[in-house]
Structure 1
Amino acid sequence: MFPPICFVLLNAHLKILSQQLLRVGAGDREPHTELNLATIVERHNIILKIYKILDETLSRTFFVELLVASIQLCVLTVSIISRDMELSELMFAAGYTCTLTLQLLPICFFADQFQSFSEQLADAAYATNWPDQDRSFRFAILFIIHRSQKCRFIFVGGLVPINLPTFLGIVRCAYTFSAIYSMVY
Structure 2
Amino acid sequence: MNPLIGANLRAMKIFGYMIYDDQKYKRLHCFRGVLLTVSFIIFNISQFIDLFQHFTNIDEITKNAATTLLFATTSFRMINFYKNRQRYLAIIKYVDSEIKKMLSIEDNHEKEIIHSSIKYMRNLTACFWIIALITGNLMCVNAAVQAFLHTSDKSPPLILRNWFPFNNFWLSYFIQYYIMNIGMLIVPCWHSFIVSIMIFVITKLKILNKRLSGIDEEYSHFVECVKKRSDIYIFVKELTSLISSSLFMDFIVFSILLCALLFQATQVDFGIQLAIIFFYIVTMTTILWMYYNHANEITFYSNQLSISAYECNWYEHSRHFRKQILILITASKPIIIHAVFIIMKLDTFLSILRASYSYFTLLSNIANDKALK
Query: Where on the TM-score scale, by shorter chain, does this alignment land: which range?
Result: 0.7 to 0.9
| Alignment deviations for residues 77-120 of structure 1 (CA, whole Å, 9 cap, x no partner) | 11112x13351111111111110001111110011011111121
Structure 1 gaps of 5+ residues are: none
Contact 2:199 2:294 survives alignment (8 Å): yes
Structure 2 gaps of 5+ residues are: 1-191, 369-373
Q: Which runs of 4+ in 1 moved over 6 A?
A: none
276, 296, 311: which one aligns with 1:92: 276
Q: Say if 2:308 is the partner of 1:124.
A: yes
294, 298, 316: which one aligns with 1:110: 294
For CA contacts below 8 A with separation 6 or more, give which structure has more relative contact order.
1
Q: SS state of the match for residue 24, structure 1?
A: coil
Paired position in structure 1 for 2:334: 151
**2-side partners of 1:95 and 1:44: how far apart?**
40
Q: Report deviation, 1:169.
A: 0.8
Paired position in structure 2 for 1:73: 258
Paired position in structure 2 for 1:60: 245
**1-side partners of 2:335 and 2:209: how far apart?**
18
Q: Say if 2:357 is the partner of 1:175.
A: yes
**1-side partners of 2:325 and 2:239: how far apart?**
25
Paired position in structure 2 for 1:165: 347
| Alignment deviations for residues 16-42 of structure 1 (CA, whole Å, 9 cap, x no partner) | 1111112114xxx5xxx2111111111
Q: Report deviation, 1:183.
A: 3.2
Larger radius of gyration: 2
Task: Give RMSD over aligned pairs.
Answer: 1.9
Q: Say if 2:212 is the partner of 1:21.
A: yes
Q: Report deviation, 1:4.
A: 1.4
**2-side partners of 1:177 and 1:20: how far apart?**
47
Q: Say if 2:196 is the partner of 1:11.
A: no
**1-side partners of 2:338 and 2:311: how far apart?**
30
Q: SS state of the match for residue 214, structure 2?
A: helix
Paired position in structure 1 for 2:231: 46
The sequence identity of aligned pairs, in percent, is 27
Using the size of structure 1 for normalisation, the TM-score is 0.85
Q: Number of paired residues? A: 175
Q: Report deviation, 1:52.
A: 0.8
